[in-house]
Amino acid sequence: MDDPKISTSDDFAKAWDAPQTGAMTELEIANLTDAIIAALKTVFDPEIPVDIYELGLIYKVDINDHRDVLIEMTLTAPGCPVAGEMPGWVEDAVAKVEGIRSATAKLVFDPPWDPSRMSDEAKLSLNMF
Q: Report the pLDDT value the prediction gives residue 46, as an integer from 0 to 100.
A: 85
**Beta-carbon-side half-sphere exposure of residue 109 (alpha carbons within 13 Å):** 6
Instruction: Kindly list the domain boundaries of the chain, sorted by start residue.
Output: 22-125
Q: Report the pLDDT value the prediction gives residue 78, as an integer from 0 to 100.
A: 81
- In tens, the pLDDT along 17-28 reads 766 666 888 999
Q: Which of 37-41, 49-53, 79-83, 107-111 shows the lowest mean pLDDT across its residues?
A: 79-83
Q: Report the pLDDT value the prediction gives residue 5, as an integer from 0 to 100.
A: 53
Q: Report the pLDDT value the prediction gives residue 47, as an integer from 0 to 100.
A: 84
Query: What class does CATH assign to 22-125?
Result: alpha beta
Do the beta carbons of residue 57 and residue 90 sit within 8 Å?
no
The model carries a pTM of: 0.79
What is the percentage of the chain residues whose pLDDT exceeds 90? 64
Confidence of residue 44 (pLDDT cuts 50, 70, 90): very high
In this structure, how many other beta carbons lie within 10 angstroms of the beta carbon of residue 54? Answer: 22
Grouping H, G, I as helix, E, B as strand and the rest as coil, residue 115 is helix
- In tens, the pLDDT along 77-97 reads 888 888 889 999 999 999 999
Q: Report the alpha-carbon distance of residue 107 to residue 39 in Å, rounded.
A: 18
Q: Report the alpha-carbon distance of residue 65 to residue 24 in Å, rounded.
A: 6
Do the beta carbons of residue 49 and residue 127 sit within 8 Å?
no
Instruction: Residue count of the chain, please give it.
Output: 129
Confidence of residue 111 (pLDDT cuts 50, 70, 90): very high
